Amino acid sequence: MKRSTLVILIGLVLVGMALAIAIAVSVLHDGLSAKATPTRLEAFVARNARHLAIPGNARLMENPVLDSPEIQREARLHFADHCAICHGNDGSGDTPIGEGLYPKPPDLRLPATQNLSDGELFWIIENGVRFTGMPAFSSNQHNGAGNHGNGQDSWKLVHFIRHLRHLSEAERLEMERYNPKGPEDRAEEEEEKEFLNEATPKAKPESHPGRRK
Ligand code: HEC
């Protein structure tokens, strides 16, 4: 081997090692706590890796579902039910669960997301993003978690993601009624119901005035 080739080889190995160390340091910060925010290098590497991992023909796919007010409503309520727990009804990602994820769900209204192609958004919804909290929702999963039959539901969600920046107050309020309820909300609802029942005195024996304590 020529001396110059050897020098180039050693140079390449050193550059490779330096890069590997930089990435490792970047990924292993904050004791792997999920409360941290990814470093810029990590976010850059992750975004580009994801871009490369999504097949080119998937990125170029066109939305086969025609947009309409009905489709928007369906997708909106679907989003409220399945996605808002992490992404928020407005797509901001400001939710208690979103805050605790690493990486956090991005604000879906910003250019970083809006500049992705329809096909790319569709692919992400169907397949999820590995090493993140973003689940796969496609119908052909084996764990039964996904039910986006034929991908139609995911394409409708792509239309909704495009609409997020113009979400009206009325639409957001409607979504709130479709957000999954946790035990606390349900307990509160029960209390309200009980309260209302007590407030309307029916001809029940206990509510007889003479027998009140
Ligand atoms: C358990 C939490 C969680 C749920 C539920 C969830 N997501 Fe996500 N989502 C994430 C996280 C975390 C990311 C960021 C992934 C990354 O950094 O690559 C993400 C990323 C995305 C992205 C890519 C945005 C971008 O710019 O990189 C899209 C689109 C998306 N989600 C749509 C949806 C839709 C639609 C649903 C409902 C069908 C949904 N998500 C449900 C956590 C969630």
Delineate the domains of the chain, giving CATH numbers in brackets: 37-182 (1.10.760)
At 138 the three-state DSSP class reads strand
Query: pLDDT digit string (tens) for 129-180?
Result: 988 999 999 865 544 445 676 789 999 999 999 999 999 999 999 999 999 9
Return the minimum-mean-pLDDT range out of 96-100, 138-142, 192-196: 138-142
Which residue's C-alpha comes closest to atom 14 of ligand 1?
A: 105
* Contact predicate 29/39, CB 8 Å: yes
Phi first, then psi: give them for residue 83, nearest 5 degrees.
-115, -30
Return the minimum-mean-pLDDT range out of 80-89, 159-168, 194-203: 194-203
The CA 8 to ligand 1 mean position distance, Å, reads 43
At 37 the three-state DSSP class reads coil
Which residue's C-alpha comes closest to atom 42 of ligand 1?
A: 134
The CA 58 to ligand 1 mean position distance, Å, reads 18
Q: Given pLDDT bands bounded at 50, 70 and 90, which one contains residue 34?
A: confident
Query: pLDDT digit string (tens) for 103-127?
Result: 999 999 999 999 999 999 999 999 9
Q: Does the model's pTM come out above 0.85?
A: no
The CA 72 to ligand 1 mean position distance, Å, reads 19
Residue 148 pLDDT: 76
